[in-house]
Structure 1
């Protein structure tokens, strides 16, 4: 029985894809996550999945670095990128970061289902448009134009995901990944992924700079002003 995880912040698309996959693969067990934080939580709580489908542009995922990091933490799982984009650069970057497939949301339902079945069977999948563009297998090893880290002169607390906001005050206290993992009751490998994403969002190069910037954010009270907007019903 194949176990699949769909991580996408667009609820209608996520639920529609789940229905399509469950109808086409009757014995499939499909789990959902509404962002990268949720995907990491499902990976930690639910054990091994046969395939993890990650939306290219969802909260918490810094492409392609987050893909590379989660792939390194779960080397035996298969990962594929879902995207409304079908550019050659995004496809090459996905494959170079360790994705087992790149699926365009613009494809027909039956094509997406076939793509998932291909990846589950052990093959690498790219959209037919990429094949028509004669992308060679040698080129798959190239990262293509890298997306530069977004310069952050003044960090907006509201840009952080809920889990990054949990990590932020612990970083400000100078805690290690192991100590943060213990505080949040999550795996150390999961903490490393959250920490790497937080460094990029903060626009810093190391933990020392992250601690300083985190202290600045918390001191000026951005978290207090932003908190009500991000509260979710329990």
Structure 2
């Protein structure tokens, strides 16, 4: 079954290049192209893609605002030229499942789409370290429910997410089916009021550094 992708970027040449790259992957189907955030939201609601590749700086509605509107509709992978903390933090707060820079090579871009489609999170290696450190400082723990809301198994899953494990890796480590893992991940996010597993990883980092016990 193909991964359905919507590409949103205000530069036609950039969109064409991305579509060409994704079209070369046998398991990815581009179901739409959008030139701005409003069009991206409308097309996503119409076509129901698995993943939206979203630029940040677009007319009418920026990519971060569009990502916020697409929560629960599709997983959003931000693809931008700008390695700016404001954009990274804003995208993840809005619920983006991943953040990549446009200098990412073609193979890595295709694999990133696959990773996000599987329900895993992904951050460009160049921003990961400072992202976790800075974001943990900026988001007080009181903004989300306490980890006590989680069952023991859900805490184990949260710890695995915090270590950067994929669903398949969590399933192997905790000796359970991958479908069961996905269910636990969803419950963790819902109970903690988080929008993505990336936010969950940051929450775990914040909880651990703050001396809390998971």
1:95 corresponds to which residue? 92
TM-superposition CA deviations, 1:176-207 (whole Å, max 9, x none): xxxxxxxxxxxxxxxxxxxxxxxxxxxxxxxx
1:17 alignment counterpart: 18
The structural deviation recorded for 1:61 is 1.9
1:37 paired to 2:38: yes
Q: What residue in structure 2 maps to residue 27 of structure 1? A: 27
1:128 has 2:129 as partner: no
The answer for unaligned runs of 5 or more in structure 1 is 144-234
Do the aligned partners of 1:96 and 1:142 also contact (CA within 8 Å) in 2?
A: no
Consecutive aligned runs of 4 or more in structure 1 exceeding 4 Å deviation: none
Question: Do the aligned partners of residues 52 and 137 (structure 1) sit closer, same or farther apart at CA in structure 2, a change above 3 Å counting?
Answer: farther
User: Which sections of structure 2, spanning at least 5 residues, go unmatched?
Assistant: 141-214
Q: Residue 23 and residue 68 in structure 1: after superposition, are their counterparts in 2 closer, same or farther (change >3 A)? A: same
Give the corresponding residue for 2:54: 54
- Per the TM alignment, residue 120 of structure 1 is displaced from its structure 2 partner at its CA by 1.2
Q: Which has the larger radius of gyration?
A: 1
Shift, 1:125, TM fit: 0.9
Task: For residues 22-54 of structure 1, give each alpha carbon's deviation from its aligned partner in whole angstroms, at most 9, with x where no partner exists.
Answer: 212x132202112223213312332x2100111
TM-score between both structures, scaled by the size of structure 1: 0.52
Report if the CA contact (8 A) 1:7-1:34 is conserved: yes
Q: Which residue number in structure 2 is paired with residue 112 of structure 1?
A: 109
- Give the aligned length: 138
Aligned-partner SS, 2:132? coil
Task: Answer yes or no: is the 8 Å Cα contact 2:10–2:58 preserved in 1.
Answer: yes
Alignment of 1:176-191 (within 5 A): none
Partner of 1:7: 8
Deviations, residues 55-99 of structure 1 (Å, cap 9, x unaligned): 10111223533422332xxx1421121211122332122111100
Which residue of structure 2 aligns with residue 85 of structure 1? 82
CA gap 1:86/1:138 in 2 versus in 1, 3 angstroms: closer
CA-atom RMSD, angstroms?
Answer: 2.5
